[in-house]
């Protein structure tokens, strides 16, 4: 099997120094291991993905000295594959339509919390979905859908993980192949994650797992901020019969206040540094490479 790495940015802002670290680590690891380096454009959010950001991704990565295989996979061309994955999860009886908006769920949770008991949060800090619709009859589901209300398709996580053996993943530094450790997946910490929506048969968790398998990705190298999501990804891989890649969740590039970089932070954008006369080698050195 050829070691296959990927960098998978979302074109909803300009790439910053944190993206440069992720892209360069993947590119150099592929080079070091005589493997492949793929670029994947994660543009399923059609309201936020913009062509100018996608063009800037190619330009900025090229300027940093990266080269990737063509054609580049764009997730917006992959909705049929995500729809098929959702269908197979639905056939397993693991999906349910969830109708509460974020605001409605927040209101319900606030009510419950007033009674004194704190509501559980997921690893990103969002309250777990209440899941009142989990046990609705098929008939009730069908009639709510027919009424035209918007809904999300959520994974019944307790049921899904209850039917699987305990899962985990191997954390392996691609530059130090002897250093490996096994991590335990904790999918219940996420509750019933969204896998699709009424009009969009996809979510980040679903598309990333389907495409890593489709592209033969053997090494997922990404920031530490995505480490907890790997628990969800392992469940989806197990349910969909997809292979388990190796993972490496690298350090994050922080700003001067110790915060994780956000796409909105213009001063950290690769193109802003470039316009200011910073060289690619200086960008790499500035992020510790």
Distance, in Å, from the CA atom of 279 to the CA atom of 275, rounded to the nearest integer, reads 10
Structural element, H or E, at residue 95: strand 95-98
Report how far residue 195's alpha carbon sits from residue 69's, in angstroms, rounded to the nearest whole number: 29
Task: Provide, rounded to whole angstroms, the least separation between the CB of residue 226 and ligand GLU.
Answer: 5
Q: Which of 174, 226, 177, 193 is nearest to 10 (CA)?
A: 226
Can you tell me the distance from the alpha carbon of 159 to that of 161, in angstroms, rounded to the nearest whole number? 6
Using CB under 6 A as the binding rule, the residues of this chain from 74 to 113 that contact ligand GLU are: none
d(CA 123, CA 228): 7
Nearest distance from C-beta of residue 132 to ligand GLU, angstroms: 30
Shortest distance, CB of residue 217 to ligand GLU, whole angstroms?
10
Q: In the complex with ligand GLU, which residue's Cβ is closer, 161 or 203?
A: 203
Shortest spacing between CB 188 and ligand GLU, in angstroms: 21
Angle, alpha carbons 137-141-142 (nearest 5°): 115
Where does this chain touch ligand GLU (CB under 6 A) — which range of 8-16, 29-37, 125-133, 182-190? 8-16
Taking CB under 6 A as the criterion, the residue among 4, 28, 42, 196 binding ligand GLU is: 42
Asked if 226 interacts with ligand GLU (CB under 6 A), we say yes
Size of the site for ligand GLU (CB under 6 A): 7
Q: Are strands 219-223 and 246-250 parallel, antiparallel or unpaired?
A: parallel
The Cβ of residue 243 has, within 10 Å, a number of other Cβ atoms equal to 11
d(CA 189, CA 166): 14
Contact call for residue 252 and ligand GLU (CB under 6 A): no
Question: Looking at beta carbons only, is 130 or 216 nearer to ligand GLU?
Answer: 216
Cβ-based neighbour number of residue 8 at 10 Å = 22
Comparing CB distances to ligand GLU, the nearer of 100 and 234 is: 234
Contact with ligand GLU (CB under 6 A): which of 8, 20, 193, 273? 8
Stretch that binds ligand GLU, among 4-12, 63-71, 84-92, 270-278 (CB under 6 A): 4-12
Measured between alpha carbons, how far is 110 from 230 in angstroms, rounded to an integer? 29
Q: Quick one: which of 4, 10, 26, 203 contacts ligand GLU (CB under 6 A)?
A: 10
222 touches ligand GLU by CB under 6 A: yes
- Of 70, 22, 76, 69, nearest to 49 by C-alpha is 76
Selected from 49, 195, 208, 232, the binder of ligand GLU by CB under 6 A is 208
* Cβ atoms < 10 Å from Cβ of 261: 19
Smallest distance from the beta carbon of 207 to ligand GLU, in angstroms?
9
CB contact at 8 A, 23 and 59: no
Q: Is 211 in the site for ligand GLU (CB under 6 A)?
A: no
Nearer to ligand GLU, 188 or 226 (CB): 226
Contact 193, 236 (CB under 8 A): no
**Complex with ligand GLU: residue 158 or 227, whichever CB lies closer:** 227
- Which residues would be at the binding site for ligand GLU (CB under 6 A)? 8-10, 42, 208, 222, 226
């Amino acid at each position: 099997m050829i070691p296959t790495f990927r960098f998978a940015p979302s074109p909803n802002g300009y790439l910053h120094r944190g993206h440069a670290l992720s892209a360069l680590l993947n590119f150099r690891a592929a080079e070091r291991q005589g493997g492949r380096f793929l670029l994947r454009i994660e543009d399923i959010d059609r309201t936020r993905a913009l062509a100018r950001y996608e063009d800037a991704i190619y330009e900025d990565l090229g300027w940093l000295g990266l080269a990737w295989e063509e054609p580049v996979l764009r997730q917006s061309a992959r909705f049929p594959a995500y729809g098929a994955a959702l269908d197979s999860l639905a056939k397993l009886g693991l999906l349910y339509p969830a109708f509460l908006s974020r605001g409605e769920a927040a209101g319900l949770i606030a009510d419950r919390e007033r009674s004194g008991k704190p509501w559980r949060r997921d690893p990103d800090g969002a309250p777990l979905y209440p899941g009142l619709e989990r046990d609705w009859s098929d008939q009730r589901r069908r009639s709510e859908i027919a009424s035209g209300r918007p809904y999300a398709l959520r994974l019944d996580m307790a049921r899904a993980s209850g039917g699987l053996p305990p899962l985990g993943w191997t954390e392996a530094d691609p530059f130090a192949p002897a250093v490996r450790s096994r991590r335990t997946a904790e999918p219940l910490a996420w509750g019933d994650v969204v896998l699709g929506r009424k009009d969009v048969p996809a979510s980040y968790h679903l598309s990333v797992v389907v495409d890593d398998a489709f592209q033969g990705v053997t090494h997922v190298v990404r920031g530490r901020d995505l480490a907890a999501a790997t628990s969800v990804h392992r469940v989806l891989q197990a349910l969909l019969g997809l292979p388990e890649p190796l993972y490496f969740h690298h350090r994050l590039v922080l700003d001067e206040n110790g915060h994780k970089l956000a796409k909105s932070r213009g001063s950290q954008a690769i193109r802003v540094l470039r316009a200011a006369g910073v060289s690619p080698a200086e960008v790499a050195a500035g992020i510790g490479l």
